[in-house]
Amino acid sequence: MVKKSNHSDAALLEMYRVALSNAETHPGISEALSGLGYDAEKLAEGNNLLNEAREAFNTCNQERDERMEAYGVFKAKQNLLSKQYTMHRKKAKILFRKDEFLQERLKIARAISSSYVPWIEAVKRFYAEISSSEELQANMLSLNVTAEELADANTKVGELEQARSEFMKEKGQSQDATMSKDAAMEKLNDWMSAFYSVARIAFDKQPQLMEALGKVVKN
């Protein structure tokens, strides 16, 4: 089955809601469908599927919004740390340009990866090494990198990792909600497909009644 966008799911849910409502309340439609097995009990089955799909759709949207919010927090914290780290790294490269071994220890000898995992590992290694050495801290201070700045950077690392954990949790929940929504929509689509097939038979001589069920009838 082709996965539909949230917008098309919303349109389908509204079309199905109108169709089932009119199937229950429109005398001519209700009578014709009842004669082909779509009585009140059968229509209740469709409404139950509709309600389940609507609930799953709403949950999916809520989880998507929470994922996007968590991602925004994560990226904002990463950008703050990245800005600070980039400047500290530039200063360290100047200070330790003649010490290849130290450059390797600080992970500043070569270009840093833009991928998150190798990037954060390099950042953590950089601050851990400098924070554990009074000599390196003294060298960094010569270019106005204070102990307070280093402590702040380490704090930002912890905050960023917590924000990423929260984002990954929300991402997983969003994916689960999307799968549940898709499954609910698939069941509803299947039921409504059969419903419309029966309706076309019921209104073979009155095709305009299909308009009340959300289906456009060509003249």
pLDDT the model gives residue 209 = 86
pLDDT the model gives residue 3 = 46
**From residue 174, how far is each of 49, 60, 111, 148 by CA, in Å?**
21, 6, 34, 38
Residue 137: in which H helix or E strand, if any? Answer: helix 134-141
Neighbours of 169 (CB within 10 A): 13
For the stretch 41-84, pLDDT in tens is: 999 999 999 999 999 999 999 999 999 999 999 999 999 999 99
For the stretch 81-113, pLDDT in tens is: 999 999 999 999 999 999 999 999 999 999 989
Contact 217, 211 (CB under 8 A): yes
pLDDT the model gives residue 219 = 59
Q: Where would I find the H helices in the chain?
A: 6-25, 27-34, 40-95, 100-105, 116-131, 134-141, 147-202
- Is the confidence at residue 204, as pLDDT, over 90? no
Burial 20-46 (b: 16+ CB within 10 A, else e): bebbbeeeebbebbeeeebeeebbeeb
For 30, the 3-state DSSP assignment is helix
What angle (nearest 5°) sits at the alpha carbon of residue 16, between those of residues 10 and 17? 90
Share of the chain above pLDDT 90, in %: 86
**pLDDT tier for residue 2 given thresholds of 50, 70 and 90:** very low
Compute the distance between CA of residue 169 and CA of residue 74 in angstroms, rounded to an integer: 12
Q: What is the pTM of this model?
A: 0.84
State the amino acid at position 167 in one-letter form. Answer: F
For the stretch 145-191, pLDDT in tens is: 999 999 999 999 999 999 999 999 999 999 999 999 999 999 999 99
Kindly state the average pLDDT of the residues 14-39.
93
For the stretch 187-199, pLDDT in tens is: 999 999 999 999 9
Compute the distance between CA of residue 189 and CA of residue 167 in angstroms, rounded to an integer: 32
